[in-house]
Structure 1
Amino acid sequence: MKVAEFIEVLAQNKNKELLFSYAQDKLVGANYHLTEVKNVQFDTTDCGGKTNFWEETHFQLWESPSELGKRNYMTTDKILSILTRVNSIKALKTDTEVKMEYGNEAFTTSVMPVKHIEIDGKRVYVSLFSEATRCKANDVCGLSAVDRDAESPIFEEQKPKIKHSSSQAMSLCEPNSGCC
């Protein structure tokens, strides 16, 4: 979901409580705050030698220990006012993917994209999901799709050698060749 789409959902649902689900049946506590908005740039090179560049916007959610037991969640209006203030200082990149950065004592800090949003009369529910790591050069290194049930990569045993050229180097990769 793009930042602009997320903001539009908030704007269309004025003064509703905003809840975030970070795992099955797990909600970020009502004591959360939006503590930081990050314009993030990724400039990477994968194991196959291909360069990649993209941008994302991360909203950092933090649970205040001094507000444990709080029952009312932050409202869409409050989040919009924070984003308006941030935008007046440093422009939001509204065409980038929005992801939430969150962690607590029982959940390792993760950066999670929005899976879906549900709305009722009083609340906006934002479901997040964890993304698994993956090989971006799987076509070069001979890796096939990830077996999501086992959560482990499936290697094609008889994959032929593949020549891959980039502006920097020519490499020869095959499964178990060490290119990944």
Structure 2
Amino acid sequence: MLSSDNHKIDAALPMAPSDLTIGDLLGALAEHGDKPLVFVYDGRPVKPGYHVTEVKAGEFSALDCEANPESWSEIFIQLWDVDEGGPVHMLAGKFAAIIRKVADHVALDQSAKLTFEISDGVRPMELHRAAQPSIVGGVIEVELTPRPASCKPRDRWLKEQKATSQPCCGASRCC
């Protein structure tokens, strides 16, 4: 659920932008269908006439750089950042209706990784991940940040290190 001005979705644990799923996004928008939905990338909002030009769902299988098998589901939402739709941004309800219509024809795993493809029709398409939506001045904003490359074995190792490390002052003695 969204909270008021400049606040993120209420959650027990904060999510990294790469963790946002289509289910998370649609759930956050559910009670705010009458509010404009504005995606922000490269430090600026999309133009009011942006279009959702394509929604794709994929199942991927791969080997990482240490030959570990990997598999995941991913949903790609393609945004065309143009000024052709009028003076206001698309309403959250219309965006949700587009996704529901796609779901009538394409199986959308609600827990799938969510990636946005965005272009103005001139610049090459860029891949972005989405942060949790927030309400800013009566508008729902979703910050999109470039999706970086990563090394999955390194990411797993870092996660393990963080999970096994003890806080210095959490024990009876400090370091």
Q: TM-score when scaled to structure 1?
A: 0.67
Aligned equivalent of 1:56, options 71, 74, 84: 74
Q: Deviations over 1:79-132 (max 9, x none)?
A: 121112111112321111222111236754222111232114531000011122
Q: Deviations over 1:37-68 (max 9, x none)?
A: 11122211122212211111111111346x28
Name the residue aligned to 1:118.
134
Give unmatched runs, 5+ long, in structure 1: 145-180
How far apart are 1:138 and its partner, in Å? 4.2
| Kept after mapping to 2: 8 A contact 1:18/1:73 | yes
1:83 and 2:102 aligned: no
User: Which is bigger in relative contact order (C-alpha 8 A, separation at least 6)?
Assistant: 2
1:4 and 2:20 aligned: no
> Equivalents in 2 of 1:14, 1:113: separation in Å?
22
| Kept after mapping to 2: 8 A contact 1:100/1:111 | yes
How far apart are 1:2 and its partner, in Å? 1.6
Q: TM-score when scaled to structure 2?
A: 0.69
Give unmatched runs, 5+ long, in structure 2: 1-19, 159-175
SS of residue paired to 2:103 = helix
Q: Give % identity.
A: 26
Q: When you count strand as a share of all residues, which structure comes out higher?
A: 1
May I ask how many residue pairs the two structures share in their alignment?
A: 138
1:133 and 2:149 aligned: yes
Which protein has the larger Cα radius of gyration, Structure 1 or Structure 2? 1
